[in-house]
Every structure is written in C-alpha cells, then in structure tokens.
Structure 1
C-alpha cells in the first residue's frame, strides 16, 4: 500500500474503510507478529495522510459498522439505468433488441426490367403541350362535346333549385353574408326569349288582286282601295290648318309706327297717374280708430260663434258621408269596372295595331303600300297581256319595315 489512498471513480468516496477491513481480516487469519506490525504501520500512515488533508473537505464516513458504510454508497448508476430503460420503452424499445429485418431492407431496384426506347419516346411531352402547361392563361378551344356537357337540362336545373330550397329550409348559416364576396352562389342566367312578330314575312294578297279575279272579290278589293284613298283625302281636309307662310296685308311705315307707339303710351300713363292719386287720397283719409272694450267683446263672441258653426257643419257633412258609404262603394266599383274595360280595349287596340303596323322605331311612321288592284279596264284574263311592274323589291322592303326590321325612311326622289 502507498501513503496515498485513491478515491473510487464511481462513487467519489475514499477507499480507506475497505482497506482497513481487509487488513484486519488478514492479520487475524495469519496470526503472526509481522502481520500485526504491518497493520500498525498502515494505520499510522493512514492517520498521518488524513491529518495532512488529503481528502480536501469531503464528509468523513462513520466507523461504527457496515450499516453506516452502506448508507454512503451512491445509486446514480442504477437510476441512470432505469431512466434509459423507461426512455427505450416509451420510444419503442432499444435498438439493440430490435431485429435487423425491421431496421434494414434489401434493395432490389436493379432487378427491374429496362424500358424500351419506344416507351420512353411516348412518355416525352411535346413542345406545344409544354408551352400550354407553362402558360396557364391560354385556354384550348373546347370541342362540341364539351359544350353539350356544360348545358344543363331543365330537369337538372329544377332538381338543383329544389335541393337548394330544402337546404335553406333545413337551416343554414344565419350569420351575416358578404354581398361583395366572389365565392358566391352560382346564379343561372335565364335567356330572354325574343319577341315573335305577329306579322308574317310573306303576306298573301286577297284574291281580288289577281290578274284574272272573280267579279265579287275584285269589287271588294276595289272598295277597300277606294276607302283608303278617301280616308287620306278626309284626313287632309279635316285636319288642322297649317300656319300660312305669307300673311295678307300692307307694310307699315316707320313714321306711322312712331305715332302709334306714342298714342298707346300716353293713354296708359294718364290712367296710371289718376289711379295713383286716388289711392293716395284714400290712404290719407283712412285713420286707425280706437276699439272699445264692448267692440272687442262683440268681435270675440262673433269669432266663437263662427267657429262653432264651422264645427257643426263639418260634423253634419261627416255624418252624411258615413250614411252614403254604400253609394260610394258602388261608385268605386263602377269606376274600377270602367277602368278595366278601358284597359282591355286599349290592349286589344294595340294588338290589332301591331298586326298591321310595326312599333315606332324612328321619327317617321310606317306608311303601308297601296293595294295593287287592277282596274276593270286593265283586266285582260291572260298573263301574256299583263303589264310588267317592278314592285317586287318595294314589296320586300315594305315587308321589312312592317315587321320592324328596318327603320321607316322618307321616299327619296331623284333630282
């Protein structure tokens, strides 16, 4: 043994008690004097080293017995072992106990078959496809099948609306909704149906306008044409007279104009002066009179009497109105019936007018073309003797104007 006793690397305590125990047991077993001497010298050296301060402030262990020695033994290594075991149990077990099959796998990627050149060539992206993929704003031209698929049938739209109504009735979000939100519900726009014209594209003229008409139908067509011409004549005669461009009379000289103005101005000025003088005299003659208390009381009583009479007349009128309520109700019903009749007459008149005339498109009204009726002298009964006329283009143009496809224009005359 040396003079210095090392410390334990695990616990950090001195090994002095264990060395003393081993020395004493050795001395008892041998029992010779040399062992006793050696033990004495060792104890002396240990006491000297302890006195010199080799343990440097460490707590001294008690020398009473083995129980005191065991109390100073540290258990840090055991606690570390338990901590590591709990960590391994929580993390799934220690890696040393896990089998190698679960940690490693065999890479068999080299065993796959090599693809052919044709398959690789097919997988390549073409140039225009790559351009379209890079630019997302360029949309391809949709095909006809795509257009058909986008269109919804009427039954599908009805089902969607019914489902939406059921969702709303079942109870949706009762909170506030942003009306400017882009992610709103899809609103299906209903297409407006174009108004169909009542006037046909090609009108068939009455049989009296034929080149060889029967006598009765020809007379009827002539009567209609004569009636139209007579209406135009009566409208011009009975209409308001236009403003004449020239007024009959003689021109007035400048000297006569001055005399006329002077005469008219002097008379009016004299009359105004006389009236002003009379009003000034009346104002001067009228003076305010002092009212007595009797007159004031008389006026107050008169005012109250007039007020009571007005209230009485008002109450009487109100009672008369209340008594005549049935008559008022009947009058209102009669007026409502007349209004409905007038409305029906107006609607039917508009419909009848639309059958013959188009709606007003421009500043000029549509003027129908005159009926093409042959006179009795012009009827020959043969197409060969019929006179040629260039009314086909005019007839088509009038048909366009009548249907409201062209704005009516004024007839232009060649110069």
Structure 2
C-alpha cells in the first residue's frame, strides 16, 4: 500500500498531469479511521490494502489513451488548442441546399460501418508470432547470396529455365456450346481426327494433359524373328528329293553336334589313366608296413647334416657414412643424367618431324582397324538380334527338328501321320522371340517323411 501511494504521489507531482476523474472520495478515505490488521501474511496484503487511488489513476491514464491516443500532458499545444479567427467569409455564390444535402449524404459513412468501427485510439498489440518467419536466418543468407550473384551478373538457374521456356500461346476464348436441337449447328464427325488445341507444352505436361514421350527402345521388337516360321521345303508331305536330302543333312549336323557335346562331357567325367590302379601300386599298398625301416631312418639322419653344412650365417654389414665429396659427386651425376634424358627426349621429338609420313600411315592403319572392329561388332549385334537371349536362369533349348526319313514319307495327305504339337510349337516360338523366359516343370519335394506303420491285423497274423 505504501508503494502504491508513493507511485501516486510521484505521478501527481509531475507537471502537466490532468486528472479526468473526480476526487470527491479522497476526503472520505482520508477521514476514515485506519484499520489495524496483521499484514505479516501474504494473503492479507491484497485483502486489507487500499489500492483504489492507484486503480483510479491507471483508469484515468487508460481513458486518456483511448480518447486522445496518449496522455494530455504529452500532447503538443496544436492538438489541444486552435486559433479562433472569426466566422469565415461567405462565398459569393451560395451552394444550393439540395446539392449540399446530397454531398453530405454521399460523404457520410453507413451506420453499420460506424458501429463496427474501432472506437479506441490505442493500437492493437503486436503479434510477435505472426511476424516470425521459419528459417528466417537461412532465407536471409540465401537472399544475400542471390544479391551478390546478381551484382556479378550471374543469372539463377530457375530464371534461365523461365527465359528458355517458349512463350505461352494465348488460347482463344472457348465458344459457347450450342443446343443440340439447333439446325444451324455444324456437323460433328465422331470418326474424324480431333483438332489439337494449342497451348503451352510445359503446362500441358505438368497438368497431365500431354502424353509422356515414349522411349524409342520400347517401340523395337525383342527379336527380329517372325512370329510364325515357315518350315523348310524338305518338310513337306511330298517334298522334292534334293530339298528333302538338304533337310536330312541339316538334321544330321544337329545330331552330330549333340553327340560331340555328350562325348566331351563323358571325357571330362572319365577317370584319368594316371589315377587308375595298376599291379605295381596294388602290390605296394599290400606290402606297406611289412618291410624294415632301418635304411629309411639312416637316410633321414644324413639329410639334416648335409643341410646344416650348406647353411652359412650371413655377415652383418654396416653402412658406411658418405663423405661430402661423395654426396657432391652423386648430385652432379644425377643432374648430368637428367640432362642427358632431356636431350634424348628433345632429339626424339626432332626425329619425329622426319617421320610424319610413317606416323600418318600408322594412324590411318589404326583407324582402319578400328572401323573394321566397329563393323564386326555391329554385325555381331545384328546377328544376336536373331538369337534368343537368356532371360532367366535357364537357357533356351531349341525344339527337335521334325524330319521324316525317306521310307516314312507318305504319298498323299490321307496316309500322312500327324506329328508334333501346335501348342508346344507356339510356346517355343514365344521363348525364341524373347517374349517369355524358358522354364521347366517344378520338381516335387516331399516335405514329410514316409512313415511305415504295421496295422493291428497284420501284427495279429504274424
């Protein structure tokens, strides 16, 4: 309470302070008898402390701030007083009353706006969180760097992309759709080609209205082989003799190749002659451990003695310290050797000037070799297009050639026997054209072990 009264006395003693509240209650408060209360406890401070004078003072300050925008003692004289110069002179031509009322009515704001208008001159408190910006320090650093680059004349990447982008073609206004029952409406052909509407390609691509460019690789076929391969003329039911013999020869070559591969595998798996047991090796295995080993022990004792005689302890050599004269001689020799190598390189360069023709011929020869290799590589790639690729863990196994021998040929279609399978042929064709991967039938794996149980009837009989 003492602090509140001290604050009031200090403020009241300031020059120019005008109190807008009446102080009629001040005499009553002074005349009232002072109460004796215990103020040692904090809960009695607010209960028995008289702070009416401080609240009146603060309320008066708030009133001045709301009505005048600040304390009257701090206002300049121009805001508080004005100079009365008398009644202004009337204009020669008086303004009509109706015009004056109309102008006043137009300039007067609406009543709803007056109600909603803020009547206090105290500005609203500043919201610090509203003015805070996330990553402000980082954004400030980026802006400073951009200013430095702009001062140097460096254009940002985003701005370059915008400059490189084509100008946006302004589309015409969309025509108003006409009614279906309008006889003057243009005829629309549903099978005709649609007119492409012009527009910014970048905008159409980003909005999903433009098709993504399909890679050229996807337009290529996996294989150059035809979907249906025509059989050789020798495979007919009544072929020509020479064409049939050519087909038989081709089938013979395929079988010979398979036979050679099988023989090669058998040779690799066969046992070597050196590893096979002979009569001598069999006899040694049977007699091993029966012969006395005295002679072998004597030989074993003599061998280490001979080795000890041959071994000589190398003398420990200690490097001698080089003199100053030796160091200078080595340095001079090193410089001389470097100079000799430099002169040799220079002489080699000069000699190459006289070998320009041979160098040119060698370069031309290398280019021809490179071109030949490129052609071979390209031809190999073209040949590989007709071969089945390995798409999985299994290789493509070609289908066996369906060939009939000379005595199996039929004279007519009635005597022809059906061979092969259309389903297998189509399946192998898909594998050969790299459309599906080769597969084999899954092997059956028994998870549970087979358990043999004797039935009760069998046990009773036995």
Q: Which has the higher contact order (CA 8 A, sep 6+)?
A: 1
- TM-score norm. by structure 1 comes to 0.47
TM-score (norm 2): 0.43
Q: Which has the higher helix share?
A: 1
Q: Mark the structure with the bigger radius of gyration.
A: 1
